[in-house]
Amino acid sequence: MTILSIAPSSDRHSFGSAAILRNLSVPMLIEHALHRGEGRLAANGALACDTGDRTGRSPNDKFLEDSAGIHDNIDWGKVNQPMTPAHFDALEKLVMATLSRRESLYRFDGYAGADPDYRLKVSVFTEEAWHSVFAKTLFINADATDLAKWSQDWTIIDAGSLRLDEYKKYGATGPVCIAQSLEKRTVLIVGTRYAGEIKKSIFYAMNYDLPDMRVFPMHCSCNVDRADSSNVALFFGLSGTGKTTLSADPNRDLVGDDEHGWSEKGIFNLEGGCYAKCIKLSREGEPEIWDAIRFGSVLENTVIDPTTRIPDYDSSAKTENTRVTYPVSFIKHARQPSVAGHPKNVIFLTADAFGVLPPISKLTPEQAMYYFLNGYTSKLAGTEAGVTEPQPNFSACFGGPFMPRPPMRYAEMLRDRIAAHTSDVWLLNTGWTGGPYGVGARFKLKYTRAFVTAILNGSLRNVPCVKHPIFGLLMPTAVDGVPSEVLDPRNTWKDKAAYDVKARDLATRFRTNDAKFAMTAEVRAAGPNATA
């Protein structure tokens, strides 16, 4: 194949004699990917690629360089695992030596952050063309004038084909390693072809950088009423809880589906694209996402019929974590640029695998702080390596794996903003009802959409509520389009005593988890009562 565009690397990373194919167009990159056997075209025009043995993120293999300049700012522990500067330098040297032997590499230059006042410049070097399509889709493309004088803030070097045989030499715990340096502003991705590591490494970077710019970084989606630009909504939640599905509303404009900043001006998307789960996807259930899958989008680990090339979205033969990447502009009613005002409603999404939380609750300011800090949900199958069924999980700020700073720093920013803009805060359970996972069933999507509609149109704001006896959550007594018996989770269980046991079990887990946070007495009192 003819090399269509070559440009030298212009930063401290030298790739030797490897040709750098820089900022190729999406059609050119797809041609390269097909020629190199990286994927196939699906019947709907999407590029279908597989990510190998890693079909989800690898958080246990993520490390942060522990340097003097950032040490005291980091919440070190299971999420933020330290790597010595010597190990980082050795790994970087290995990666550079390996990639310098390649015939060619791909480079993408673009932005993270739709607001020009807060954006970061990102350069992504990859071995595979489809990873460059991913970067070009998920980040915000720069124009020719900016590219002519480009000097990036962050560099991602993806060596997915390199496996660490002698991983202990580099401070890693296995052949896969994602290493990030906040001072060198460099990310090294080694041994995994899962493209989500590219996206989340820059989210991690912005979660460190933005608070110093007085911007609250958030793991949330955002949309806005098409007829009323002041009616902005945020949807916080981990992967699989509904951020993308619920924000892709045909009656509202999409700002973004996963990562945002909340500045003194309002909300802005950190990305230029969407990264949606597509397991069980249907046109009826999620028409906006269905129609966004076309030429220029990338399907990951989705079963494709070998003859018709029609995707089988119901199949989990490769993973439950089947994904599609597409530009946000592929959503019919996407807001461009991806910015909005301050939110009227903030919605915490939790997929409760215990099946005991109410489907919808209105939170007091103290409860908002408490449930944000704890970030309870369930890890859903496939989103991380080794997760094969829903697992109850606490993830601080509904995005623990991506938060380098102590959770209280983010929680205080949330507190200050919802107070300043009188935002209502809600807890929406998109998980199980009638019993825990394996016994009960997930809430019907039409009910969840009805809850969201009632929140956004204001009809729930002053509705009568009853207090949950264990969790203290305010449960509305009536919601249009939803049977009243669904609103109190205890009513949906055949065995009421079993519900009480399971609810107290979860309440105890909350109390065990909240002990690690230095909460005020008022915020701690807003949590559940395991002895009620």
Whether 57 has a pLDDT exceeding 70, the answer reads: yes
Q: What band does 430 get if pLDDT is binned at 50, 70 and 90? A: very high
CA 55 to chain centre: 15
The Cα angle at residue 264 between residues 327 and 187, in degrees rounded to 5: 50
* CATH code matching the domain that covers 216-272+338-525, chosen among 3.10.400.10, 3.40.50.970, 3.90.228.20, 1.10.3720.10: 3.90.228.20
Q: What does the pLDDT read at residue 2? A: 30
For residue 146, give the 3-state DSSP assignment.
helix
Q: Of 27 and 13, which is predicted with more confidence?
A: 27
- Point out the residues that are catalytic: 57, 200, 219, 239, 243-244, 258, 323
Q: One fold for both 19-37+58-193 and 275-330?
A: no
Whether 146 has a pLDDT exceeding 90, the answer reads: yes
Mean pLDDT of 389-394: 78
How far is Cα 490 from Cα 359, in angstroms, rounded to an integer?
Answer: 11
Q: What does the pLDDT read at residue 439? A: 93
Q: Of 385 and 528, which is predicted with more confidence?
A: 528
Using a 10 angstrom Cβ sphere, with 0-12 exposed, 13-18 middle and 19 or more buried, the burial of residue 111 is buried
Using a 10 angstrom Cβ sphere, with 0-12 exposed, 13-18 middle and 19 or more buried, the burial of residue 477 is exposed
- The domain segmentation of the chain, as residue ranges, is 19-37+58-193, 216-272+338-525, 275-330
Whether 500 has a pLDDT exceeding 70, the answer reads: yes
Q: What band does 384 get if pLDDT is binned at 50, 70 and 90? A: low
Mean pLDDT of 477-490: 96
The CATH number of domain 19-37+58-193 is 3.40.449.10? yes
The pLDDT > 90 percentage for the chain reads: 92
Q: What band does 12 get if pLDDT is binned at 50, 70 and 90? A: confident
Mean pLDDT of 80-97: 98
213 — phi, psi (to 5°)? -100, 10
194 — phi, psi (to 5°)? -70, 115
Average pLDDT, the chain: 94
Residues 6+ positions from 478 with CB-CB distance below 8 Å = 463, 464, 484, 487
> The whole model's pTM is what?
0.93
Using a 10 angstrom Cβ sphere, with 0-12 exposed, 13-18 middle and 19 or more buried, the burial of residue 230 is exposed
| Tokens encoding 119 | 């954006």
Q: Are 349 and 430 in contact (CB under 8 A)?
A: yes
- 113-140 pLDDT, tens digit per residue, is 999 999 999 999 999 999 999 999 999 9
* CATH code matching the domain that covers 275-330, chosen among 2.40.30.10, 2.170.8.10, 3.40.190.10, 3.40.640.10: 2.170.8.10
Q: What does the pLDDT read at residue 392? A: 77
DSSP 273-331: EEEEE-TT--TTT-HHHHHH-SBTBEEES-EE-TTT--EETT--SS-S--EEEEEGGGS
Q: What are the C-alpha distances in Å from 477 to residues 360, 423, 425? A: 10, 22, 18
Mean pLDDT of 164-185: 97
